[in-house]
Amino acid sequence: MLIRRKEAKDYGTKKLIEGRFEQGEKCLIIEDVVTSGTSVMETVDALKSVGVVVTDAVVLLDREQGGADRLSSQGIKLHSVCTLTKVLDILQKADKLSAEMVKKVQTFISENKFEPITVNKRAVSDDTRNSSESNKRNKKCLKYSERQDLCYNVNGKKLFAIMEAKKTNLAFSADLTYSQTLLDMVDCIGPHVCMVKTHVDILDDFTPQFTEQLKKLASKHNFMIFEDRKFADIGHTVKHQYSGGVHRISGWADITNAHIVPGDGVIKGLKEVGIKEGKSCVLIAEMSSEGNLATGDYTKACLKMGEEHRDFVIGYICQSRLSTDPAFIHMTPGVQLKEGIDALGQKYLTPHEVIANKHSDVIIVGRGIYSAEDPLAAAKMYQEAGYKAYESQFD
């Protein structure tokens, strides 16, 4: 028998899987209740990471909210001892539950189903992108608070929790070149953002103290730090780029990102460093710049890699929602209050277009804030526009 720990003990072997096993051995998972299937998938991932094969899981009660389909799409067959329908039937026949209550529960279950984990075809088909059918499907989106429970990585949960608590889906892209200017601006607009994104390599006066101060501001204002490093090399190299050099990114950035051009070795390399430090990654599935090549099959392959590494990958940089798995967070750069294009091909969409129409989750705004006459007032405007657009999806 093997046991999966929820967290590695901070003493001893630090293993997530306890027990005796040989690589390549098969293991059956036993669970008490399945709702979305997330917990079973986490166990599958932990077992796979140590070379144990899993194809089946047994559950005492299947709440029939889509968990079986989600697991099946990941190659896991779920066998349930009992389903919620059976339990309701037994209780009603034994006069323990009124017909009215049974109906209420059935309605709740049918309205709160989790969609199977699949690659959304909108990733490769522009024709369907604006179709009313796909818009209708996306209208059924879940609230941040509901999605946070489905995340596979602690940083995904944390980001959703911050967005809900601070009522903001605004990420500030702090592309400033002097540390103190950047820190002062972040201190000023910190209450209005869920995340601050940096390009630490454009700072003219970088010192390790800069990252210490940024971390302090992140605690003070409750935002996450995202270093937009865009790793794009083989696994062995990115491991060093992520943990070492002058910037030591894995030590202070909660989230970083990667291009998938090298294949999933880039994710594996980053994961080796980041996962034990509680860090996470987003994959660049699409870009905002004119003529970029991150489209079609490339985007599709990116989503697949994200799903395969969902213990570390929390979402995608993209121009619209791509994955139907509500655990993944979609972040969109190229946002200003007016649509347009800059002199170097950066294309801009409005917060409303990005969140309400394209169903992304986070707007990433740089010059729209730091080049504004009053950056604080601008940040408030973007916060309000982004959050209103999010809420409009539930009207």
Tell whether residue 306 is a contact of ligand 5BU (CB under 6 A): no
Residue 291 beta carbon to ligand 5BU: minimum distance, rounded to whole angstroms: 12
Tell whether residue 383 is a contact of ligand 5BU (CB under 6 A): no
Q: How far apart are CA 83 and CA 59, in angstroms?
A: 9
Determine contact, residues 177/201, Cβ cutoff 8 Å.
no
Residue 173 beta carbon to ligand 5BU: minimum distance, rounded to whole angstroms: 4
Tell whether residue 44 is a contact of ligand 5BU (CB under 6 A): no
> Which of residues 185, 284, 363, 378 is near ligand 5BU by CB under 6 A?
284
Residue pointed to by tokens 């294309």: 347
Tell whether residue 173 is a contact of ligand 5BU (CB under 6 A): yes
Q: How far apart are CA 87 and CA 85, in angstroms?
A: 6
Tell whether residue 80 is a contact of ligand 5BU (CB under 6 A): no
Question: Residue 199 or residue 352: which is nearer to ligand 5BU going by CB?
Answer: 199
Contact mark string toward ligand 5BU, 322..341, x via CB under 6 A:
-----------xx-------
Work out the number of other CB atoms within 10 angstroms of the CB of residue 379: 25
Q: Which residue is nearest to ligand 5BU (CB)?
A: 366
Question: Residue 159 or residue 364: which is nearer to ligand 5BU going by CB?
Answer: 364
Residue 197 beta carbon to ligand 5BU: minimum distance, rounded to whole angstroms: 6
Q: Is 233 a catalytic residue?
A: yes
Near ligand 5BU by CB under 6 A, which window of 82-90, 287-295, 299-307, 374-382? 287-295
Question: Residue 68 or residue 305: which is nearer to ligand 5BU going by CB?
Answer: 305
Near ligand 5BU by CB under 6 A, which window of 44-52, 58-66, 75-83, 285-293? 285-293
Residue 228 beta carbon to ligand 5BU: minimum distance, rounded to whole angstroms: 6
Contacts with ligand 5BU: how many residues (CB under 6 A)? 17
> Which of residues 72, 73, 181, 346 is near ligand 5BU by CB under 6 A?
346
Q: Among the options 230, 276, 304, 388, which is catalytic?
A: 230
Near ligand 5BU by CB under 6 A, which window of 60-68, 125-133, 153-161, 284-292? 284-292
Tell whether residue 17 is a contact of ligand 5BU (CB under 6 A): no
Report which of 392, 328, 314 is spatially closest to residue 355, judged by C-alpha positions: 392
The distance of Cα 58 from the centroid of its chain, to the nearest Å, equals: 28
Q: Is 230 a catalytic residue?
A: yes
Q: Among the options 233, 300, 311, 380, which is catalytic?
A: 233
Q: Kindly report the CA angle at 34 between 28 and 36, in degrees rounded to 5? A: 115
Task: List C-alpha distances in Å: 284 to 37, 39, 256, 296.
Answer: 26, 27, 11, 13
Question: Residue 68 or residue 317: which is nearer to ligand 5BU going by CB?
Answer: 317
Q: How far apart are CA 205 and CA 213, in angstroms?
A: 14
Contact mark string toward ligand 5BU, 353..372, x via CB under 6 A:
-----------xxxxx----
Tell whether residue 300 is a contact of ligand 5BU (CB under 6 A): no
Tell whether residue 317 is a contact of ligand 5BU (CB under 6 A): yes
> Which of residues 228, 264, 325, 353 is near ligand 5BU by CB under 6 A?
228
Report which of 345, 13, 368 is spatially closest to residue 192, judged by C-alpha positions: 368
Residue 20 beta carbon to ligand 5BU: minimum distance, rounded to whole angstroms: 45
Tell whether residue 155 is a contact of ligand 5BU (CB under 6 A): no
- Catalytic site positions: 230, 233
Question: Rule CB under 6 A: which residues touch ligand 5BU?
Answer: 173, 175, 199, 228, 284, 287-289, 317, 333-334, 346, 364-368
